[in-house]
Structure 1
Amino acid sequence: MNFYFLLFDKFETLDLFGPVEIFGRIPDARLNYISTKGGIITSAQGTQILTQNEGRNYYQRTGYSDFDAKSS
């Protein structure tokens, strides 16, 4: 089972790692860290996460029509 976490600069570390800890306990869980541009995203506390450039593709695949690709 895939779980996707969309990250942005200056995210709150606990807002990410709370759910990551829970979802990571599910057998066969695959945790994916994505952003609209890919690369390293830094939290407000300085934690850095390497993300995949999947933001636009994820939103297009899931049918979110209100995603503004121009804002990224």
Structure 2
Amino acid sequence: MGLPVLGAVDPYATTDMSRDDMAPLLADIWEALPFATPGAELRGLQRLRVMAELCAHSSGAVLRWIAD
């Protein structure tokens, strides 16, 4: 399974994605959902999908990934 957008998120740095990045991110999420482990992993992907959809429809919105 290739997830180019999710795979590009650096776990050690902050990553910002604009609404232009949301369509490919949503494609990655939809591809990953059937393989997600029920429970926290599946719920996390579902929450990420909702945030990405909101970002895709909000002018000037940014989805920010904050590193550990």
Structure 1 and Structure 2 fold alike (TM over 0.5): no
What TM-score, normalized by structure 2, do the two folds share?
0.36
What TM-score, normalized by structure 1, do the two folds share?
0.34
- Say which structure is richer in strand: 1
Larger RCO of the pair (alpha carbons < 8 Å, separation 6+): 2
- Say which structure is richer in helix: 2
